[in-house]
Amino acid sequence: MNIPDASPEIAALLYRLLAEANTGITQHYRDPSPDVWYVGRGDTGERGPYASAEDALITVVAWLWQRLDEVSQERDTAQAEAAQMRAELEQIRAQMGQVAAELLRLSGSEQRW
């Protein structure tokens, strides 16, 4: 199925997705053909050709889901590293407090931090 073959409701939605959503799904600008679609930027995009805009759109959605999984894993890793760093920082602060208290004790000062 290509956009001209789709039902009027679906065709209108597909045209809107392609034109307004800036998906990067296009035909070659100098030699457009209803059976040759690309995904990406430039004359012929970064991926393709696809036989229909729908096939190109499916590729974009699949790539977005894959990228979402990758970004979610990166976020989880960063959150775990941040938690580890917070724990280490608290440990260092506690040790610094002990050192400061010991220095005060050795200096004979009664002042508290």
The pLDDT value recorded for residue 3 is: 62
28-81 pLDDT per residue, tens: 767 777 778 777 765 545 677 888 878 888 888 888 888 899 999 999 999 999
Number of domains, the chain: 1
Cis peptide bond upstream of 8, omega within 30: no
The pLDDT value recorded for residue 1 is: 45
Q: Which domain holds residue 14?
A: 3-107
The pLDDT value recorded for residue 21 is: 64
3-35 pLDDT per residue, tens: 666 677 777 777 777 666 666 777 776 777 777
- Check pLDDT > 90 for residue 96: yes
List Cα–Cα distances, 76 to 58, 62, 63, 90, 111, in angstroms: 27, 21, 20, 21, 43
